Amino acid sequence: MADPRFAADLRNRRASLAVLCFDASRLAPNGGDWHHLLALCGLVKVRVIDLDGVYDPCLPNDRPLPGMKGSISEFEVGVIRAGMIDAAQTKTRRGELRISVPIGYIWHRDTGLDLDPDIRLQQVIWLVFERFRFGPSSRKTAMTS
C-alpha cells in the first residue's frame, strides 16, 4: 500500500468515517494495492469519496465501479509510461536525448561529458573525495573539518 501508516490507521479504526480524495484510484500505486485498500475500507466500514461519488465498499453494488476506476487508472499509467519510453528511444536514435549529468560535469554537444570549468566547484568536489579517504563514510566525511 502507498502509505503503511494509512493502512494501519484504517485497521486500528483511527481513520474517520470516510477517505476523501480528488481521484480515489490514485490513492494506491498499483491495482493490487487499490483492491487491498477497497477491501480494507470494506472491513472497517470506511467509505471512499471522490469527485464522482461516495462509495461504500461494504455494499456489493458499490465495489465494482471503484475497482474498475482503479484498473483503468493502472492501465493509463502503463500507457503513459510506454509513451515516455518510446519518446526517449526515439530521441536516442536521433541523438537528441539529454540526461542530467552528475555535479561537476557538463555536457558538450561535440565532445560529450567534460569536467565543469568552474574551478571552485572542482576544488570542492576534490575536497570531498580527499576527506572521504580519511573517513570512509558519508557521515564521517561530513563531520571532518
pLDDT at 8 (0 to 100)? 74
Whether the per-residue pLDDT at 29 is higher than 60: the answer is yes
User: Where exactly does CATH 3.40.50.1390 map onto the chain?
Assistant: 4-94
Distance CA 128, CA 141 (A): 7
pTM for the model: 0.56
Burial of 70 (0-12, 13-18, 19+ CB in 10 A): buried
Is CATH 3.40.50.1390 what the domain over 4-94 is classified as, yes or no? yes
Q: Label residue 66 by pLDDT band (50, 70, 90).
A: confident
Contact 28, 55 (CB under 8 A): no
Whether the per-residue pLDDT at 122 is higher than 70: the answer is yes
